[in-house]
Each structure stands twice: as structure tokens, then as C-alpha cells.
Amino acid sequence: MNAPALPSADRWQQWGVDPSWSRSLDVASHDGGSHRWHVLERRPADLAASLGTVVCVHGNPTWSYLWHRVIDRLGDRYHVVAVDQLGMGFSDRPVTRSYAQRVLDLQDVIDALELEGPLVMVGQDWGGAIVQGWSVAHQDRLAGLVLCNTGIAVPSGRHAPALIRLAAAGPITDLACRRTRVFVDGTMWLSWKRIPRAMREAFRAPYRRAADRTAIRDFVAEWETGHEIAVGVKEESHEKGPTLFVRRMFYRLIDRLSEVPLVRNFTGFGLYDRVVIDTLREIDDPYPYFRGLICDLGYARAEVPYRQAARRRGITKNNFYTLYDLAMLGITNHSKVPLRLATMAGFALSLVGVLVAVAYLIMKLAFWSTFSLGLAPLVIGVYFLASVQLFFIGIVGEYIGSIHTQVYHRPLVIEKERINFD
């Protein structure tokens, strides 16, 4: 769906915005096609003298107008860009966007604006979560991170504002957020200081029709079914070919061996809800395989792909020994397959030894005079005994694996919520 019509120059001025800041541009999307984005942008007269670039991302249910005072105060010294997220403000209204898609959307518009150099990312509310996701994926381009009204978790004993909890109450969500302006108007009354009438009109402007408020509903629904973990997944890397190949093969191998599905190319880097951190603190494991432990806990997670830039300076602290140690830690923490190889190999070789012995016996009985046994019976006997020993070593390994499982001290289950419990 197309975006709402842009305000007139007079309307911009009534809202305290220089009309020259407003611009729309077509942006090629990572998922194909293109979308029309609206941004408020101001840069110093001498761009070469700019102190840096600031990218501002609004939350829900606002738009780039939220940052007009920031643009006014910093725009003479910094190149400041405030974007309208897709589905919001005066940008296009595409289909529902997930958190991971919005992180990639942000990179799309940054590329289209040809913003160079390190960026200061500023986010408010949901925009704060999105700029954090972008920062995880583009550490080499991050100059600073500013978060406003962005909560990673609700502290124990506290609750989200009543309006947000009401809007997120299942059947009411669509009524409060899309079909009516209850959520749009209500959030403005949450301000500790009364918002002037002209500002209230500006905040409402892109959301006059129900169809224009779809993304507002989607954001609230996403909060309701939110993820406790957002992890960075390396989809591209500028590492040397052999190193990258070995890493990818390792992640593929351990994922196949593991008893729980693991995230491939995940190194542990991400954003974690307070409830996840509290659970990790309760686990008595002095040497955990963290990237696997996160998957083992079973919390809902969002995966954010990123590109690993080439190292600019210095050398890695890891060497072959530390990488080998990490690999063995991951395999032994999440799989009993190596232990059971001894049992299965011993059983298989014992069976082969018995079959070969029976075959030799039949051949000898059938061709008593012409068939020579030689040293075969001795060799078969030695291999059979070795196979039996290997089998019982595997049985011992099963007991060791059982002990290993019990000393994890990991919770049997993770409680998400309790209903009707006193």
C-alpha cells in the first residue's frame, strides 16, 4: 500500500520543521523490489566540516517528526537523518515486517542514502531495539549508540504502562491500535508534560486512516509475543577461505551431532533479556559452551544476520589449541555420539568377527582336504576379543555420559509463565 500524502510546506512550518528537511526516496529492498521511504535530513552547509553522521530511528506509534528538535539543534554541525520506518510515518505500507526484516530495512535505507563513515545510531522505543540489532551486525561502522525509552526487560515487580498492556490484550489489539486511534492518542497522554496541540496534530498526521495504522498494531503484537533473545548470525565473512570453510564445517557438524538444534554461525553475540541472564546465573557450570547453552535453554529468539568485516588491526587471541578446545567443549557438552561410537563399533566388529568365523568353519567342513586355515582362526579370535573389549569400553562410556549429564545442573524446564497458581 502507498504511503500517506506528504504535508504541505505551510503544515511543516506549523509543526516547527523546515520543509527542506523532508524528502522521499525509492530504496532497493534486501528481499527484492523497492520501497518508498520518507526521511527528515539536515546536513551542515560544509559537509566536509561535519562532526559526524547521526541516524535516528523512531519507535511505536511515532515517526521521524519525533526527532525534529534533535535535527534542529545538531544539524548545523552533524549530518542528521531521521527515517520513517516502513509501514509508519510517510513511508510505504508493505506487508508485516518482522524484527529481523526491519534491521535489514534499516541497512537498505542507509545504503540508499550513501551514508559513509562511522555512524552514531539513536533509537527510541522499538527503534532502540532495531538500532541495537543493526549495531550487532555492523560493529565496524558504529561510532556510538544512544537509546531512549528502550527497555530490554521489565524489572521484577513492575509492569508496562496500563495502556500498552491493554493494547496488547489479544482481541483488543486490532481495535485499539488499527481500527481506532486509541493507542496513537493514548501514548501522547503518557508524557510527563502536556504535548502542545501542534505537536499532537503532527504525531497523528500519518495515522489518520485505519490502513495507515497497521504497522502500529503489528509492533504491539510483536511486543506481546516478543523474543527474549536476539542473536547475531554470521551470514558473510571476510575471513581467509580455509578458516571460514573449517568454521562452517564445524558448525554444521556440531548441529548434526547435537541433541538440541543449534544456531549455525552463531558465536554468542547478541541481546539477552534479563530473564535469560538470571537463568544463566543459576546454572552451575564453570566452563560452559555458551553458544550452545543459549539454544539449550529454549527461549524464543530472533536471528539477525550480519556481515563480519575483515580485521583492520591486531591479531586474534585464539590459536589452534584454543579453537580445538572450544570445538571439543561444544561436542562433549551437546552430544553423546562420540561416546557411543565405541559401543557401536565394538558391536559391529564383533558381529563381523562372528560371521567371518562361521564362514571359515563352513568352508573348512565343506573342503576339509583342500581348504587351509592358516593363521586365520588366531587373527579372528584376537579381533573378536578386541571388539568385545571395545564394546564394554563403550558401555563404560555410557555411564560416564550419564554422569556428565547429571553434573550439568541445568534446569529441567524453563517456566515462561504461571497461570492460576497462588
Same domain? 14 vs 150: yes
CA angle, 89 then 203 then 205, to 5°: 65
Same domain? 321 vs 360: no
Q: Where does a domain end: 318, 334, 350?
A: 334
Query: For residues 167 and 219, what is the distance between their CA atoms, to the nearest angstrom?
Result: 11
Same domain? 247 vs 323: yes
182, 41 Cβ separation under 8 angstroms: no
Asked if residue 359 is part of any domain, the answer here is yes
Cβ burial of 53 (10 Å; 0-12, 13-18, 19+) is buried
Phi-psi region of 49 (alpha: psi -120 to 50; beta: other; left: phi over 0): alpha
Same domain? 348 vs 318: no
Quick one: cell of 149? 525509552
Same domain? 303 vs 369: no
Residues paired with 26 in a beta bridge: 36
Same domain? 19 vs 136: yes
Asked if residue 309 is part of any domain, the answer here is yes
Query: For residues 276 and 416, what is the distance between their CA atoms, to the nearest angstrom?
Result: 11
Cis? peptide before 61, omega within 30° of 0: yes
User: Per the structure, how many domains does the chain have?
Assistant: 3
N-to-C CA span, the chain: 48
Asked if residue 170 is part of any domain, the answer here is no
Same domain? 342 vs 320: no
**Torsions phi, psi for 272 (to 5 deg):** -125, 130
Asked if residue 112 is part of any domain, the answer here is yes
Q: Where does a domain end: 274, 307, 334?
A: 334
Asked if residue 113 is part of any domain, the answer here is yes
Same domain? 26 vs 82: yes
Return the pLDDT at 74: 93
Same domain? 40 vs 105: yes
Same domain? 327 vs 368: no
Query: For residues 231 and 271, what is the distance between their CA atoms, to the nearest angstrom?
Result: 6
Q: Which domain holds residue 305?
A: 229-334
Dihedral angle sign, alpha carbons of residues 261, 267, 273, 274? positive
Same domain? 315 vs 393: no
Quick one: cell of 200? 499532537
Same domain? 289 vs 358: no
Asked if residue 108 is part of any domain, the answer here is yes
261, 252 Cβ separation under 8 angstroms: no
Query: For residues 14 and 7, what is the distance between their CA atoms, to the nearest angstrom?
Result: 11
Query: For residues 319 and 321, what is the distance between their CA atoms, to the nearest angstrom?
Result: 6
User: How would you write the pLDDT of the chain (422 residues) with one tens digit per residue?
Assistant: 678 889 999 999 999 999 999 999 999 998 888 999 999 999 888 877 788 999 999 988 889 999 999 999 998 899 999 999 999 999 998 878 888 889 999 999 999 999 988 999 999 988 998 999 899 888 888 999 999 887 665 566 666 666 666 666 666 777 777 888 877 777 777 665 678 888 889 998 998 888 888 877 776 666 555 667 777 777 777 667 677 788 888 888 888 888 778 888 877 777 777 778 888 888 777 777 788 888 888 777 777 776 666 666 677 777 777 888 888 888 777 777 777 777 788 778 778 877 877 877 787 777 777 767 666 677 777 777 777 777 777 777 777 767 766 666 666 666 666 766 65
Asked if residue 188 is part of any domain, the answer here is no
Asked if residue 165 is part of any domain, the answer here is no
23, 38 Cβ separation under 8 angstroms: yes
In this structure, what CATH number is given to the domain that contains residue 118?
3.40.50.1820
Instruction: Look at the block and give the residue holding cell 510527563.
Output: 192
86, 30 Cβ separation under 8 angstroms: no
Query: For residues 56 and 52, what is the distance between their CA atoms, to the nearest angstrom?
Result: 13
63: Cα separation from own chain's centroid: 25
| One-character DSSP codes across 110-158 | HHHTT--S-EEEEEETHHHHHHHHHHHHTGGGEEEEEEES--SSPPTT-
Cβ neighbours, 10 Å, residue 158 = 8
